[in-house]
A and B are shown apart, each in its own frame.
Chain A
Amino acid sequence: MKLTRYWALFLFLCIGLFASDAAAAEHVTDSGTTAWMLTATTLVLLMVPGLAMFYGGLVRTKNVLGTMMHSFAAMVVIGVLWPTIGYSLSFGEGLLGGFIGWNPDYVLLRGIDDAITDAGIPEYVFAMFQGKFAIIAPALIAGAIAERVSFRGYVLFIALWSVFIYSPICHWVWAEDGFLFNMGPAGAIDFAGGTVVHISSGISALVAALYLGARRGYPRNVMHPNNLVMTLIGAGLLWVGWFGFNAGSAVASDLDTARALTATQIAAASGAFAWIIIEAMLYNKATSLGMVSGIISGLVAITPAAGVVQPGGAIIIGAVSALVCFLAIQLKNRLGYDDSLDAFGIHGVGGIVGALVLVFFIRESWMSEAVIAAGGSWTVWQQLGIQAAAVLVTVVYAGVVTLLLLFITEKTVGFRLGEAGEMSGMDHSLHGEHGYGLINPN
């Protein structure tokens, strides 16, 4: 009985595959843009193993593999989900009053086999580039719930999160008929995913950390990172990959790309610089973990802003983000909730800082275009209102729906790991492996 159902599904998919209509290629491929977008796609994918190393080094030895698996699982699960329905849900035409997208032609990417976009790149490249963002967003959440979740619960959660949170927000912000894309004369500014990726995952991370509760023994017991060397390598890969993330988001290979790349580089350095200055003043020591935290906080904050700010603004945005993220983590320590690897403290807070502070550093040409589009007058304060609205919508929607998804996950397959499994470590209890086997004599 079950077998026949699978066969029916298989046949249905086959028919669908062959029935896809060949849309005539209207545009010509621009080889320069295509080459850069392929590179950018690759760079963004590189961020995921980078994140695995970043997070993997920060947990205790017994959880290193389980934590790295969280990033890799996102690559695998969303890697299947995105071409199947994710791209359609995010970039199809608006459905349910623009709540989410849907285009049956995009299911399994059937309809884009011959498509070349307006930017002169094959739509496959655009779909894959966007797919990398869909992969890294849920992987970021894993930092807040590290060391204490079951693998099956995590897999179910990120799949649900991708469908019910990432795709709608992505549609609102980036699809041409999304309501945040069209808010105000020139839209809410989210160049490369400050709201879509960082605020949504950061807020979800906070909600998940509060819902699941602290790790056993936190904060009484000290939980040292097992390998900061690996964390530093991971942070380096994230910085490199972020050029694809931000400069690729121009979906071009021109002046906008160069501007985004420059702002990204500067904000990362400025964030790290500010963080080590803060640490030097407070503790008389600059730490490696502080430096990489500053890098990430700067990169997160410049993500929404990279397309509209100039180098001076990028320096200030990076530094302000580092300061606010630092304070947010101090506050977390005071409040005692267990956002284990500071997914909210860096990505949520840094994303919000970037989305709001950017309005004060928008380049004049952008503002004058907005003024014309608005029909005479448009001020930074009005744009700040638009930005705040986009942040608020993202925070409320991601927060509420995450709570719902956590409840569903916990009640069906179970999310929080049992006490015995948590004590013996995820590597042993969930995966039956251990991370550093090479240091044994054989």
Chain B
Amino acid sequence: MKLITAIIQEDRLDNVREALIQADITRISVSRISGHGRQEDIEIYRGRRIAPNLLPKIKIEIAVNEAFVDPAIDAIIASARHGEGQIGDGKIFVTPLEECVRIRTKERGCSAI
């Protein structure tokens, strides 16, 4: 089991969700976050250049079984990029997932995902 955490830009959320649904991945959590990586956001206010700022981003978390890791990553990459790819398109982190429990049935492991 793996936990996929993807940081993407706000305007691609619907694209990524649709791409994931196409790849049969329907159970996701989405949150609004702020942060910045290499993307620069220099804006000009009344002639002054303002340094990079915290930018609004979307975080998607998906817990998947091994077979779905690559399809999920491919779907996110294909749908979250702007054109041929721009700085700020985001990142995907994949971390091992130790346990998963469905609260309603107390199921554990792969079948609970």
Cβ distance A387 to chain B, nearest Cβ, rounded Å: 46
Bound Cα distance A429, B9 (Å): 13
A434 within 8 A of B: yes
B109 within 8 A of A: no
**Given contacts A439-B32, A441-B34, A425 and B11 within 8 Å (CB-CB):** yes
Bound Cα distance A439, B10 (Å): 14
**Total count of chain A residues near the partner, CB < 8 A:** 12
Q: Which of these, B12, B15, B56, contacts A434 with CB under 8 Å?
A: B56
A97 within 8 A of B: no
Contact partners of B26 in chain A: CB under 8 A = none
Cβ distance A242 to chain B, nearest Cβ, rounded Å: 36
Bound Cα distance A163, B87 (Å): 46
Query: How would you classify the secondary structure of chain A's contact residues: helix, strand, loop or mixed?
Result: helix
Q: Which of these, B10, B12, B14, B54, contacts A441 with CB under 8 Å?
A: B54
Contact partners of B11 in chain A: CB under 8 A = 62, 423-425, 428-429
A to B contact number (C-beta, < 8 Å): 26
Chain A positions 421 through 441: 1 when the CB is less than 8 Å from some CB of chain B, otherwise 0: 001110011000010010111
Pick 21 A–B contacts, CB within 8 A, sort by A: A62-B10, A62-B11, A423-B11, A423-B15, A424-B10, A424-B11, A424-B12, A424-B14, A424-B15, A425-B11, A428-B11, A429-B11, A434-B10, A434-B56, A437-B56, A439-B32, A440-B34, A441-B34, A441-B54, A442-B34, A442-B54
Known: A424-B11, A424-B14, A441-B54. 19 other contacts (CB 8 A): A62-B10, A62-B11, A423-B11, A423-B14, A423-B15, A424-B10, A424-B12, A424-B15, A425-B11, A428-B10, A429-B11, A434-B56, A437-B56, A439-B32, A440-B34, A440-B56, A442-B34, A442-B53, A442-B54
Taking beta carbons and an 8 Å cutoff, which residues of B are in contact with A?
A: 10-12, 14-15, 32, 34, 53-54, 56
